[in-house]
Structure formats: C-alpha cells, structure tokens
Amino acid sequence: MPAGGWSEPALQPGHDPFQHLHDESYAAPFAVDRVGWRDMLSVAGRTLESLDGDWNFVLDLHDEGLRQRWYEDEPGPIAGWRVPRDYDDGDWQRTAVPSCWNVVRPEWTYFEGGAWYTRAFDFASGQPGERVFLRIGAANYEARVFLNGVFVGSHRGGSTPFFIELGPHLRQGQNRLQIHVDNRRRPERVPMNHTDWFNYGGIYREVGLLRLPPVFIRDFGAALVPGSAGKRVAVDVTLSDAVDGVAEVEIAGLAPLDLPVTAGLGRIEIDLAPELWSPARPRLYDVGVRFREDELRDRVGFREIAVAGQRILLNGEDIFLRGICVHEDDQALGKVTSEADIRRRFADAKALNANFLRLSHYPHHEMAARIADEEGLLLWQEVPVYWAIDFASPDTFSDADNQLREMIRRDRNRASVIIWGVGNENADTDARLAFMSGLAASCREMDATRLVSAACLINREHFRIEDRLSDALDIIGLNEYFGWYEPSLDGLRRLFANSDLDKPLIITETGADAVAGHDGAPGELFGETHQSQLYDRQLDLVESAPYVRGFCPWVLYDFRTERRQTGLQRGYNLKGLIAADKTTRKKAFATLSARYAELAQRQGET
Ligand code: GCU
C-alpha cells in the first residue's frame, strides 16, 4: 500500500472508460427482448404481490444509465467505490409508484427523457416449478427492466400492461429491481411528438408480481357467438404451453363443462341464452376456467353489437350513442387514475344522460371498462394513432399494432367496450390507408365481437364525409368543429347535404373552449354562453341526418396540454363541460344533459 493510504486498482489494458461517450447505438441491446401482446397474461381473479409504494428515483436526461450500464454496478457506499460513478441508485430522492413525475415536483413538470426507478424486494420461492412474472400496468413511453443487474426485458407503448418473466434471475432473499422509463415523444412513436394532450412520464399504473404454475392459463374469452341471436356462447382458452388436456368451464351457474385443449388451445360453443347485458340491465355472470392447478375467474356480460345499414344494433335493437369524450388527466395526479376518479367520470356522464364514452386517445386503465360493465355504460377504446404518425414506417406499424392487440387482449371480456378505434384525424395518404386498414384487420383477427372505427377527416375537395378508410370500418367517426374552428355552421349543413353514407356515422368530436365562470355575450369565443348555444345548434343539425347514430362531443373535463398558451387557456384545453377541478360545471353541461334526456325519451329509454 503506497504511503498515505493511496491505493490504485489494477490497470485494465484494453478497457476504454470513455468509449460510452462515442456510442449512439447504446439503446439497441434493449430493443431485442421487447415483450408484447403475445406475452400478456390474464390476471382475472388472480392475486398480485404489489410492488407499489416508495421507490428510489432519478432523472437521466441523457440515458447515462444505459450508456454507462449503471444497472451493473452493485449498490454500495461511495467510500467503497474503486472508480467514480455518476449514479448511486438514486436513494437520495424517492417517488411513489404509480405516479407521473411531472406532477411530483415543479422542476420535473416538463421533463421529457429517461428516468430510473429502483427498489429492493424480498423473494422466497413458493410452489415447486412456479413461474414468476413482473406485471407493469403501464409506463409511458418505453420501459427497460433490470433485475439484479441483468437486463430482463423491455416494452414500448405508454398505455397498456406488460409482463416480464423473472425466472432464473430471481434470488432467494433480497432482489434489486431497476426500471428505466423514457417518455420522449418522437416522430416514429405512437403517438408521435405532436399531440393535444400533456406528455406525462413514469410508471403510472400498478406494479406487481404474479406466481403461476409451470403450465397456466394465459388467456380466456367468453362471448356470445355473433349472429346467434343471443342463444350461443363461445368460450376459448389459451395455455402458456402447447400441451393437450381438458379445461373445465363454469358459466352462468351451469354444471362445469369440459373444454378440450389441443396444443395449448381450445374453444367450445354451448347453447346458452344468458340474460343479455345492456346499459339498462348490465347483467354480469361469474365465469371460471380451470386447467390442472390453475384457475381464472371473471365477471362477464353477454351482449351483441352489430351494424345493419346505417344502424347500430345492440342485442338486435337500434341504439343511438349519446356520448362524451374523456381524457385520462387529473390536475393533481396527471395520468394516474383511481376507482373514485373513474366512478366520478361515469357519474358525470350519467348526469349528462349519456350512455356512451369515448376513452380518448389511448387505452385507459383497465378499471374503466370493468366499472363500465357494472354501471351499464358503452365504451369506445382506441390506440394513439393520432395526427401525423409515421405511416410509412413498418416499425411504427409494429408498435401501433402491438398496442392495439394488447388493448384488445386486456379488455376482450368487457361487455361495455363495443368499438375499437384505430386512429384519430389522420391525413388521407396511401401510407395512412394501408397502415390503418392493417390495424382494422388486426381488430377483426383478434376479436369478431366488436365494431371498428376511427375519427376520420372531411373530404375538403368535395366537402363531404368521404374517407377511403371507411371501407375498412364498421362505423365512420367524424371530428368536426363547425361553430368553433370553422365558425359557420353552414359547413355542417353543406356536409350533411353533400354526404350519403351506407354505414353509421358517429360525431366523434365537436365542441368549443369556454372559461368556467365566464358567461360572455352570445357569439363571444371562450364564453360559456357560446359553448352552450353551439351544443344546441350542433344537435339541431345532427338530429336531421339519418345516418348519424352517435354524438360524442369533445370533452367532459378541461385537461392539460402544452400547446395552448393564451392568457385564458394557460396550458389547458378548455372544451370541457366541466372545469379541470372536475366539479365546476359549465352552462353547456345542463344544455347537453337536457338534449340527451329528450333524445333518450324519444328513443324509449327512460
Ligand atoms: C382534435 C383532437 C383532440 C383535440 C381537439 C381540440 O379533434 O382529436 O385531441 O384536443 O381537436 O382541438 O380541442
């Protein structure tokens, strides 16, 4: 030991400590083990071991942790380090999981970049041969997961759950879990870098561990057979492994039924006429599926949604969708949602006499559809194929298609979900047509029991509702802002007069900004009076068009968006019928509520 305690680690010839400064391909190793919809597991009736709570947290704007492989460093006191580091496990600052870092600290509000979540957890093996999975409810936008210093998997897509098997990297006793989350908006991502909603970042839905037997039930479905007039039910099962055997199905109180499984797949159809689910009578049945020592249990409603000409039929009956759009956004919590927040959202929708919500513009928390099943509300769920997506990129399509299939896999047993939306306001190009027709085909491949739509644009040349994509859709969605961005409602009159549709149309957006508490004179923009009168004028016209079978204005609550910076908006979109406090109702709320009550009465709904 040299004098004065000076010590020198051995020279490492060939090791260039500065190599990472020159390597911009640092993210490539973490794109190889990306998990997706095929790795999903149904958690219906399962118990997760929660990993929610306080985690270590550190921002990493330049992805130094990936570049310098921080995750490989064993944690320990700085005094014990042999070479300097720029990262110490982040235990000097903490944050909650789930949360959005943007609303945790003011200095993190607009942060777009990488960040590290780290926590330790104790683990002890359970059943012999058990398989252990990490489930992350959602992380925006891309997540890379490391267990005990080893990269174990990654996921992209900011609003759907993902599962990573921890297997051989788990230790008996203490384990160290690190998750790098990157919320950068990029042109090739889905959504791309330009959106009209706030870019929250973080692990913002629940995280937990799942312990499963060596062979388990990965997924199951139970639904009416389309066209069976509510008299036949299909149940399908997918196992984790391509094995043969017999699963057991319990449904609607019937005696257990055998479901033969071959190479891990099985499907039966049974003559069964369950009480049908509807908004008026949201009847749910207990459904159980068992295979060897594994079991899933869910509460399922049976209903059929279809289109016939210009009509939308729920259980064979014509229905008009009295809707409202809603974002997953909260002043205090950002994109984190709770059961109370969802139940308030649905109570406000029912106070509008609505029977339908468009969950915009990305898959909402799985609780939303589960609670809508109970409360008897119909839902449109969509993927954020929003505005100028990189439609020419096969990798962007793969990302969008995976998010779509994850959404469908997650919510396929939710009776409330009747429409899958494959995009919003996308300019009509050949690349966009191919991209979104491909997504529509994926919907039909994954799920024959729901309708497919998209929020389309107007053909400005002929000034009519016309979109090449509509051939791939069951319902045409139309966003139109006559009376706001296009002040004259004559445009809507002309549009309806020029258009002749052979399938149903839903007005998937219309509306106007209004500052809560500011009445304003008639016609005064940003006044509640103008917003309220616009709703009346819009509905007068909408009710004149026979093919309009749904009205879903924009939007239930004011919400954060970086791109609106007038002195009135100050970073908010004010088209809400309720202010961002989710309490203060504007005049237009009462206007729409009254109009929907009249519509409901005319349609024979009490
Ligand atoms: C568009 C878009 C919304 C946006 C709205 C608006 O139609 O789909 O996401 O917030 O218009 O301009 O307020």
Q: What digits encode the pLDDT tens for the residues 292-343? A: 999 999 999 999 999 999 999 999 999 999 999 999 999 999 999 999 999 9
Question: For residues 480 and 252, which has the higher predicted lDDT (pLDDT)?
Answer: 480
| Residue 169 token pair | 């990297």
Expressed in angstroms and rounded, the spacing between residue 512 Cα and the centre of ligand 1 is 10
Reference 163, options 172, 151, 155; nearest CA is 155
Confidence of residue 9 (pLDDT cuts 50, 70, 90): confident
Q: Say whether 399 sits in a helix, a strand or coil.
A: helix
Best residue among 359, 484, 486, 509 to mutate for probing ligand 1's pocket (most ligand atoms within 8 Å of CB) is 509
State residue 198's pLDDT score. 98
Whose CA is closest to atom 2 on ligand 1?
A: 196
Contacts of 205 (CB under 8 A, 6+ apart): 98, 136, 137, 138, 139, 161, 336, 365
**Residues in the chain, total:** 606
Enter the DSSP assignment of 554: S
User: Rounded CA gap, 453 and 268, in Å?
Assistant: 29
Expressed in angstroms and rounded, the spacing between residue 573 Cα and the centre of ligand 1 is 9
The residue type found at 30 is F
User: Rounded CA gap, 130 and 392, in Å?
Assistant: 43
Confidence of residue 2 (pLDDT cuts 50, 70, 90): low
DSSP-assigned beta bridge partners for residue 585: 578
Confidence of residue 485 (pLDDT cuts 50, 70, 90): very high
Q: Say whether 169 sits in a helix, a strand or coil.
A: helix
Virtual torsion, Cα 184, 190, 194, 199, nearest 10 deg: -50
Supply the pTM of this predicted model: 0.97
User: Rounded CA gap, 285 and 300, in Å?
Assistant: 5
Q: Does the C-beta of 89 come closer than 6 Å to ligand 1?
A: no
The alpha carbon of 256 is separated from its chain's Cα centroid by a whole number of angstroms, namely: 34
User: Rounded CA gap, 263 and 243, in Å?
Assistant: 5
> Rounded to the nearest 10 degrees, what angle do helices 490-498 and 528-542 cross at?
20
State residue 4's pLDDT score. 77
User: Rounded CA gap, 444 and 450, in Å?
Assistant: 8
Whether residue 104 contacts residue 124, with contact meaning beta carbons closer than 8 Å, is answered with no
User: Rounded CA gap, 534 and 268, in Å?
Assistant: 51
Q: Does the C-beta of 479 come closer than 6 Å to ligand 1?
A: yes
State residue 606's pLDDT score. 56
- pLDDT tens sequence across 414-458: 999 999 999 999 999 999 999 999 999 999 999 999 999 999 988
State residue 7's pLDDT score. 75
Whether residue 439 contacts residue 396, with contact meaning beta carbons closer than 8 Å, is answered with no
State residue 215's pLDDT score. 98
- pLDDT tens sequence across 37-79: 999 999 999 999 999 999 999 999 999 999 999 899 888 888 8
Whose CA is closest to atom 12 on ligand 1?
A: 196
Ligand 1 atom nearest 361 alpha carbon: 9
Q: Give the phi and the psi of residue 539 in degrees, each rounded to 5.
A: -65, -35
Q: Which string of b and e fits 189-224 if b means at least 16 CB within 10 Å?
A: bbbbeebbbbbbbbbbbbbbbbbbbebbbbbbbbbb
User: Rounded CA gap, 302 and 300, in Å?
Assistant: 7
Whether residue 412 contacts residue 366, with contact meaning beta carbons closer than 8 Å, is answered with no
Confidence of residue 281 (pLDDT cuts 50, 70, 90): very high
Burial of 459 (0-12, 13-18, 19+ CB in 10 A): middle
Q: Per-residue pLDDT averaged across 281-288, rounded?
A: 97
Q: Per-residue pLDDT averaged across 272-285, rounded?
A: 97
Average pLDDT, the chain: 95
User: Rounded CA gap, 137 and 437, in Å?
Assistant: 28
Ligand 1 atom nearest 195 alpha carbon: 9
- pLDDT tens sequence across 179-229: 999 999 999 999 999 999 999 999 999 999 999 999 999 999 999 999 999
Contacts of 283 (CB under 8 A, 6+ apart): 274, 275, 276, 277, 301, 302
Rg (CA), the chain: 26
Q: Percent of the chain beyond pLDDT 90?
A: 90
User: Which residue shows structure tokens 């639904």?
Assistant: 223
Q: Which domains does the chain have, with CATH numbers?
A: 19-212 (2.60.120.260), 228-302 (2.60.40.10), 306-602 (3.20.20.80)
Q: Which is it for strands 53-60 and 317-318: parallel, antiparallel or unpaired?
A: unpaired
Confidence of residue 585 (pLDDT cuts 50, 70, 90): very high
Reference 138, options 182, 204, 185; nearest CA is 204
Contacts of 140 (CB under 8 A, 6+ apart): 100, 158, 159, 181, 183, 199, 200, 201, 202, 204, 335
User: Rounded CA gap, 310 and 308, in Å?
Assistant: 6
State residue 542's pLDDT score. 93
Contacts of 362 (CB under 8 A, 6+ apart): 158, 159, 191, 328, 382, 383, 384
In sequence order, what DSSP letters do the residues of 268-309 get, joined into one string? EEEE--PPPP-SSS---EEEEEEETTEEEEEEE----EEEET
Best residue among 194, 196, 575 to mutate for probing ligand 1's pocket (most ligand atoms within 8 Å of CB) is 196
471: left (phi over 0), alpha (psi -120 to 50) or beta: alpha
Q: Residue 3 pLDDT > 80, yes or no?
A: no
State residue 543's pLDDT score. 85
